[in-house]
Amino acid sequence: MLRYVFRRILYMIPTLILISMVSFAIIQLPPGDYLTSYAAQLRTTGDTIDEAELAALRERYGLGQPIYVQYLKWVKGILLHNDWGQSMEWQRPVKELIFERIALTVVLSFSTMIFSWVVGISVGIYSATHQYSFMDYLMTLVSFIGVGTPGFLLALIVMYAAMAYFGLNVGGLFSEQYMLAPWSWAKFVDMLKHIWIPILVLAVSSTAGIIRTTRANLLDELNKPYVVTARAKGLKETKLVLKYPTRVALIPFFSTVGWALASLVSGSTLVAVVLSLQTEGPMLLRALMSQDMYLAGSFILLLSTLTVIGTLISDVILAWVDPRIRLEA
């Protein structure tokens, strides 16, 4: 098992190097750069442009140098000095902008994933073991609606209903008095009062998909000979279902841990914009639109790294659940 995990960790190193190259190249694909967009914006508003200042900024950020020089400068700063570059739009170090929001993003994404797994797997097992019952049909209807409803549309409906019928503004993760306040127990409690709404909105689609997948996989396993044999030997039905066919039916979920967290972070961008959440999604969208290359590149690198780490966790869980994987040649 340790040899298997060590081999997977070694695979991560060249993968992350390649990801960093692709991440930096992606941001360089649009024509121009941040300073070009900034100059065009100034011309639109009629403001004067100081060409000497633009030239100085271009030299400072290395925008006049070849792309590989900019990339090596960026990577060297991250590895040797924990310097992720300077955000051109915010005029602040990128690491400050990212890490002040990453905690909220991870808490929201992880809570949503756990909620989706617990509810989706439980309901899926119940639907499979009570096939064609009233609750099975009801859960099937609810899951189809959940899969077909975009998250941002559901967020708009929730915000409208809360304002129209209850006079409440459910946007954001904090009340106005705690928005810029330092962390304290009162701010944490205030966050708990607000975070359940985005968790429910984000979890609807993923929970519905998990219900359908769990139900389908478990129904395939319940009719296999090893289940019939175990039932004929008098094994209790609850123990039989949970210990054997459910364990096999959940293997697809273990294999998707690698992209589940990153997809929640990136896939919740529109929902975060609609609900005015202080997470990384809206900032990433703004960085991409303004071509703030160091900030956007760091976000893309971070999401890709989350995927790679999640894939490692997925491989370890699969090896623990399925001995055939860890014992392969």
Given the structure tokens 């966050």, which residue do they identify?
191
Residue 257 is predicted with a pLDDT of 67
Residue 97's Cβ-side half-sphere holds a number of Cα atoms within 13 Å equal to 27
* pLDDT for the residue 124: 92
The separation between CA 282 and the C-alpha centre of its own chain, rounded to angstroms, equals 13
SS (H, E, C) 63-122: CCCCHHHHHHHHHHHHHHHCCCCEECCCCEEHHHHHHHHHHHHHHHHHHHHHHHHHHHHH
pLDDT at 263: 63
CB-CB contact of 198 with 108 (8 Å): yes
Q: CA-to-CA distance for 272 and 275, rounded, in angstroms?
A: 5
User: CB 324: neighbour CB atoms within 10 A?
Assistant: 9
Q: Give me the pLDDT at residue 119, please.
A: 92
User: Which domains can be identified in the chain, with CATH numbers?
Assistant: 2-93 (no CATH), 95-326 (1.10.3720.10)
User: Are 299 and 84 in contact, with CB atoms under 8 Å apart?
Assistant: no
What is the C-alpha to C-alpha distance for residues 203 and 264, in angstroms, rounded to an integer? 9
Q: In terms of DSSP bridges, do strands 92-93 and 86-87 run parallel, antiparallel, or are they unpaired? A: antiparallel
Q: What is the DSSP letter of 184?
A: -
Strand partners, 92: 87
Residue 329: per-residue pLDDT: 47
Q: How far apart are CA 231 and CA 300, in angstroms?
A: 50
Cα–Cα distance for residue pair 82/197, rounded to 1 Å: 35
Amino acid at 56: A
- Biggest CA-to-CA distance, the chain: 86
**pLDDT tens for the 329 residues of the chain, in order:** 677 778 878 888 888 888 888 878 877 776 666 777 777 766 777 766 677 777 777 776 677 778 888 888 888 888 888 888 778 778 788 888 887 777 788 788 888 888 988 999 999 999 999 988 999 999 989 888 888 888 888 888 888 888 888 877 777 888 878 877 777 888 888 888 888 888 888 888 888 888 988 898 899 888 889 888 888 888 888 888 888 888 888 887 777 766 666 665 665 777 888 888 888 778 888 888 777 778 888 888 887 777 787 778 777 777 777 766 666 64
- Per DSSP (E only), the strands in the chain are 86-87, 92-93
DSSP annotation of 183: P
- Which residues is 87 bridged to in the sheet? 92
